[in-house]
């Protein structure tokens, strides 16, 4: 009964979405206020109905209702409750339902909170949002119904893919989806603005909180996914340039560009068509991500739910939404430019460089991700594009970006004084060079690129910190009051930029100075790595709730002194018929000592285990930096200007031009 209720609610949601996609749009065209206002009711109704459907599916998972096919395929009665709940979105149908739930939630939020948005723009935005809804809810209902029943019901389920049974999974997809789907509302705003034919600073300000919310959530989602791959999947790394990772990274890169270009549109009334294009493309890349993950178009370690039939349907949806919006862009955007002029050295120019570099980086990743497909289509041969391509293409773009990032916040709008800025930064420059040399000395002849990159990362960190210190005049009386008086968005910028610097340090450390040993081991084997000595002491069987584990005991010493004991595991899930690796890690700020075991690979190796030991210096900086990114995004989001919709009136006289926050 409950699953049927869920399906019924979902069908009603489709009807609400169809109404919402037509009526407000017509109302806006004819000036009919009543029709425009209907968008609020239909957006709320759509959200509530999809929420009911989602709750119905979640209930089926919690009570292990094995008359529902989806539950049978992805759950098991012995599974811990948290993973039963997480199982709701650990599969194709459920995750798509979560996708449309978030889509509807963003629509409802705009309907509810967007009081200061003009009636016509709001109506059109909600209509465009409903077009996306219609596409995906119908996709769900007609090709991937999560409520399909099975008869006779089996006694138990097939269990969730054990790789997905982790706390990381419970949070990673929802966060990622809030990011992906959050850009949908930005997309809807952009398409609505194109239909309206008007983009102004006010538009940029309405769009900004949604972009920030999506970007912040996407940052957290990607960070968590990387953390999950590193700790749970036992891959011994945090980023693999896998197609599925790339498709989440591209919207992030372009979303970052959008965040910055929208500032220029807001403050200086220029970069208009570019901002619109970024808004469209960012969501298009999110859609592309959904498509690639689900269609099996490219091989990936993430191929959890692959079905080419569904791929065709999604490709159709993509063709209509991306093709349609870009055609609209080509038609309407050329008449929209204009606005403020600026000098070659100015904050606008800095943000332009930022945008160009971020867009180029995105294009590089996109090309590398799709190249195997192009290559196979043209020549018939299969190739894979690995980390060497991405490292060679991506790093040379990111390093200049980081250099500019250190200078950018010092520049003033319209025309900046580059000599003055550089003289303020000379100490930072000196510090960076000295740090780079120290790193060079410490690692004696370490890789040149890594040393240079480390210097640049320290440059970003120090320059950002210095900019903040100068802005709030930290060492003069009344600093606390000044900190409080500054818009939160500008503190958000500082925190997020610091986050980028920290991530860069972590990424450089963990890639350039990583040590990796793979060896056969049996009780008694000793291995040395990065100054540690590991002794494989024993291995024993343990029984878990729905798995059997082989647990190894490793004794770690340094210079003869006891450091810690590590217990890497190999878990076997009999129901799902698969095994997982549970790595055991000694975490410190300086670096992680990472161990994992696997079944012996070769024959004639009875009693032997494959032992993998990694030393990853500074790797935790990556996740610490991500936390800073998220905090910065949140801080900026809580700015009064975005909450109330108007900037705070300055009590004292206007701040000097050089101190205008860029957020």
Partner 1 sequence: MKRLLFVLPLVVALIIGGFSLWGLSGGRDPSALPSMLISQPVPQLNLEAVEGVDLPGLSTDELTKMKGIKLLNIFASWCAPCRAEHPNLTRLAQEDGLTLVGVNYKDKPEDAAKWLAELGNPYEVIGSDYSGRAGIELGLSGLPETFIIDETGIIRYRLAGPLVGDGLRRFTEALNEVRK
Of 118, 201, 296, 396, the one binding partner 1 (CB under 8 A) is: 296
Q: How many residues does the chain have?
A: 663
Dist. CA 261–CA 356, nearest whole Å:
10
Closest distance to partner 1 from the beta carbon of 331 (Å): 8
- In terms of CB distance, is 195 or 281 closer to partner 1? 281
Q: Which residue in the set 80, 319, 400, 544 belongs to the binding site for partner 1 (CB under 8 A)? A: 319
| Two tokens, residue 319 | 């063709």
HSE, side-chain direction, 13 A CA sphere, residue 391: 12
- Residue written as tokens 């190894």? 552
In the complex with partner 1, the residue whose CB is nearer, 379 or 476, is 379
Task: Rule CB under 8 A: say whether 271 interacts with partner 1.
Answer: no
- What is the closest distance, in whole angstroms, from the C-beta atom of residue 379 to partner 1 in the complex? 11
Answer whether 564's CB lies under 8 Å from 583's CB.
Answer: no
Give first-to-last CA distance, the chain, whole Å. 51
Assess contact for 632 and 492: CB atoms under 8 A: yes
Measured CA distances, 385 to 275, 360, 367 (Å): 31, 18, 10
Min CB(362)–partner 1 separation in Å:
12
Supply the minimum distance, in Å, between the C-beta of residue 194 and partner 1: 11
Pick the binder of partner 1 from 603, 607, 650, 651 (CB under 8 A).
603
Please tell me the distance from the alpha carbon of residue 106 to that of residue 56, in angstroms, as a whole number.
Answer: 21
**Residues 10, 136, 162, CA angle at the centre, nearest 5°?**
85
Positive or negative: CA dihedral 22, 24, 25, 29: positive
Of the candidates 164, 322, 402, 456, which one interacts with partner 1 according to CB under 8 A? Answer: 322
307 versus 533: smaller Cβ distance to partner 1: 307
- Asked if 351 and 414 count as a contact pair (C-beta separation under 8 A), the reply is no
Contacts for 330-334 with beta carbons within 8 Å, 24 or more apart?
Answer: 332/194, 332/195, 332/197, 333/194, 333/273, 333/276, 333/277, 334/273
Q: How far is the CB of 488 from partner 1 (least distance, A)?
A: 34
Among 33, 299, 519, 538, binds partner 1 (CB under 8 A): 299
Sign for the pseudo-dihedral over CA of 188, 192, 198, 202: negative
Output 294 or 491, the one with its CB closest to partner 1.
294
Single out the segment in contact with partner 1 by CB under 8 A; choices: 81-89, 272-280, 434-442, 565-573.
272-280
Q: Which of 381, 540, 559, 561 binds partner 1 (CB under 8 A)?
A: 381
Show contacts with partner 1 in window 561-590 (CB under 8 A): none
Whole-number Å distance between alpha carbons of 313 and 319: 10
Q: Whose Cβ is closer to partner 1: residue 88's or residue 290's?
A: 290
Residue 284 interacts with partner 1 (CB under 8 A): yes or no: yes
Residues from 327 through 366 that contact partner 1 (CB under 8 A) = 327, 329-330, 333-334
Q: Is 254 in the site for partner 1 (CB under 8 A)?
A: no
Among the candidate windows 12-20, 174-182, 374-382, 432-440, which touches partner 1 by CB under 8 A?
A: 374-382
Whether residue 273 contacts residue 336, with contact meaning beta carbons closer than 8 Å, is answered with yes
Q: Which of residues 454-493 bind partner 1 (CB under 8 A)?
A: none
By beta-carbon proximity to partner 1, the closer residue of 34 and 377 is: 377
Residue in 1, 81, 377, 654 binding partner 1, rule: CB under 8 A: 377
Contact residue for partner 1 among 31, 308, 400, 420 (CB under 8 A): 308
Q: What is the dihedral of CA 421, 427, 433, 438, to 10 degrees?
A: -160
Which residue of 134, 176, 218, 277 would you call a contact of partner 1, by CB under 8 A? Answer: 277
Indicate whether 291 belongs to the interface with partner 1 (CB under 8 A): yes
Nearest-approach distance from CB 277 to partner 1, in angstroms: 6
CB burial of residue 585 (10 Å; 0-12, 13-18, 19+):
middle
In whole angstroms, the minimum distance from the beta carbon of 30 to partner 1 comes to 29
* Interface with partner 1: number of residues (CB under 8 A): 36
In which region does residue 562 sit, left (phi positive, over 0), alpha (psi from -120 to 50) or beta (all else)? beta
Residue 374 contacts partner 1 per CB under 8 A: yes
Residue 326 interacts with partner 1 (CB under 8 A): yes or no:
yes
Least Å from the CB of residue 592 to partner 1: 31
Does residue number 298 form part of the binding site for partner 1 (CB under 8 A)? yes
Of the pair 311, 387, the CB lying nearest partner 1 is at 311
Say whether residue 452 binds partner 1 (CB under 8 A).
Answer: no
Q: For residues 259 and 228, what is the distance between their CA atoms, to the nearest angstrom? A: 27
386 sits near partner 1 (criterion: CB under 8 A): no
Q: Does 323 bind partner 1 (CB under 8 A)?
A: yes
**Cβ closest to partner 1, residue 199 vs residue 277:** 277
CB of 296 or CB of 487, closer to partner 1: 296
DSSP letters along 430-491, please?
A: HHHHHHHHHHHHHHTS--HHHHHHHHHHHHHHHHHHHHHHHHHTTTSTTHHHHHHHS-HHHH
Binding region for partner 1 (CB under 8 A) out of 54-62, 370-378, 510-518, 646-654: 370-378
Q: Which of 22, 51, 141, 315 binds partner 1 (CB under 8 A)?
A: 315
Closest listed residue to residue 52, CA positions, set 147, 134, 135: 147
Which DSSP string corresponds to 79-104?
S-HHHHHHHTTSSHHHHHHHHHHHHH
In angstroms, give the least distance from the CB of 323 to partner 1: 6
**Which residues, including other chains, have CB under 8 Å from residue 202's CB and lie 6 or more apart?**
none
Task: Answer whether 6's CB lies under 8 Å from 102's CB.
Answer: no
Nearer to partner 1, 41 or 383 (CB): 383
Q: Given the rule CB under 8 A, which of 181-189, 253-261, 304-312, 540-548 is the region that contacts partner 1?
A: 304-312
Q: Take residue 523 and report the two structure tokens written for it.
A: 């009780």
Binding site for partner 1 (CB under 8 A): 273, 277, 280-281, 284, 288, 291, 295-299, 303, 308, 311-312, 315, 318-319, 322-323, 326-327, 329-330, 333-334, 370, 373-374, 376-377, 381-382, 603-604
């Amino acid at each position: 009964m409950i699953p049927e209720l869920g399906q019924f609610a979902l069908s009603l949601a489709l009807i609400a979405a169809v109404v919402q996609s037509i009526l407000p749009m017509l109302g806006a065209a004819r000036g009919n206020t009543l029709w425009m206002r209907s968008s609020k009711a239909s957006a709320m109704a759509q959200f509530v109905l999809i929420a009911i459907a989602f709750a119905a599916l979640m209930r089926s998972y919690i009570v292990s209702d094995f008359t529902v096919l989806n539950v049978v395929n992805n759950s098991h009665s012995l599974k811990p409750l948290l993973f039963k709940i997480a199982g709701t979105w650990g599969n194709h149908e459920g995750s798509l339902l979560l996708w449309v739930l978030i889509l509807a939630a963003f629509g409802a939020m705009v309907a509810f909170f967007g009081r200061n948005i003009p009636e016509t723009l709001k109506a059109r935005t909600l209509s465009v949002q409903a077009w996306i809804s219609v596409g995906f809810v119908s996709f769900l209902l007609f090709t991937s119904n999560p409520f399909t029943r099975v008869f006779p019901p089996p006694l138990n389920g097939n269990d969730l893919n054990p790789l997905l049974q982790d706390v990381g999974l419970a949070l990673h997809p929802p966060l990622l989806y809030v990011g992906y789907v959050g850009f949908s509302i930005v997309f809807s705003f952009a398409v609505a603005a194109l239909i309206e034919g008007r983009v102004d600073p006010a538009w940029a300000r309405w769009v900004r909180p949604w972009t920030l919310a999506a970007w912040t959530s996407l940052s957290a989602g990607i960070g968590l996914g990387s953390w999950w791959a590193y700790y749970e999947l036992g891959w011994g790394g945090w980023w693999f340039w896998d197609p599925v990772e790339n498709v989440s990274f591209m919207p992030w890169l372009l979303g970052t560009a959008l965040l910055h270009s929208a500032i220029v549109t807001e403050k200086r009334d220029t970069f208009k068509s570019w901002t619109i294009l970024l808004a469209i493309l960012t969501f298009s890349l999110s859609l592309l991500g959904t498509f690639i993950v689900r269609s099996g178009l490219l091989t990936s370690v993430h191929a959890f739910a692959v079905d080419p039939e569904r791929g065709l349907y999604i490709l159709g949806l993509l063709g209509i939404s991306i093709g349609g919006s870009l055609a609209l862009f080509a038609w309407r955007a050329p008449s929209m430019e204009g606005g403020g002029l600026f000098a070659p050295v100015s904050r606008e120019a800095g943000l332009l460089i930022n945008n160009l570099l971020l867009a180029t980086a995105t294009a590089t990743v996109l090309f590398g991700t799709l190249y195997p497909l192009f290559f196979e289509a043209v020549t018939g041969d299969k190739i894979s594009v690995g980390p060497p391509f991405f490292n060679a293409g991506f790093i040379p773009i990111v390093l200049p970006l980081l250099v500019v990032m250190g200078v950018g916040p010092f520049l003033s709008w319209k025309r900046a004084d580059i000599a003055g800025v550089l003289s303020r930064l000379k100490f930072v420059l000196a510090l960076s060079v000295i740090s780079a040399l120290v790193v060079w000395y410490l690692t004696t002849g370490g890789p040149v690129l890594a040393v240079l990159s480390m210097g640049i990362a320290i440059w970003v960190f120090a320059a950002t910190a210095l900019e903040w210190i100068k802005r709030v005049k930290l060492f003069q009386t009344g600093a606390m009051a000044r900190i409080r008086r500054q818009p939160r968005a500008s503190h958000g910028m500082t925190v997020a930029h610091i986050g980028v610097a920290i991530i860069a340090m972590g990424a450089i450390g963990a890639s350039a100075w990583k040590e990796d040993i793979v060896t056969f081991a049996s009780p008694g084997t000793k291995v040395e790595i990065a100054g540690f000595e590991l002794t494989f002491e024993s291995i024993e069987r343990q029984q878990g709730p729905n798995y059997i584990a082989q647990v190894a005991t490793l004794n770690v010493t340094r210079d003869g002194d006891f450091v810690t004991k590590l217990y890497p595991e190999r878990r076997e899930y009999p129901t799902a018929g698969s095994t997982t690796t549970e790595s055991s890690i000694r975490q410190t700020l300086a670096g992680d000592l990472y161990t994992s075991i696997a079944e012996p690979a070769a024959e004639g190796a009875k009693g032997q285990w494959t032992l993998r030991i990694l030393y990853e210096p500074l790797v935790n900086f990556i996740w610490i930096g991500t936390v800073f990114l998220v905090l910065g995004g949140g801080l900026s989001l809580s700015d009064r200007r975005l909450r109330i919709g108007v900037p705070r009136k300055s009590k004292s006289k206007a701040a000097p031009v050089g101190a205008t926050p860029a957020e």
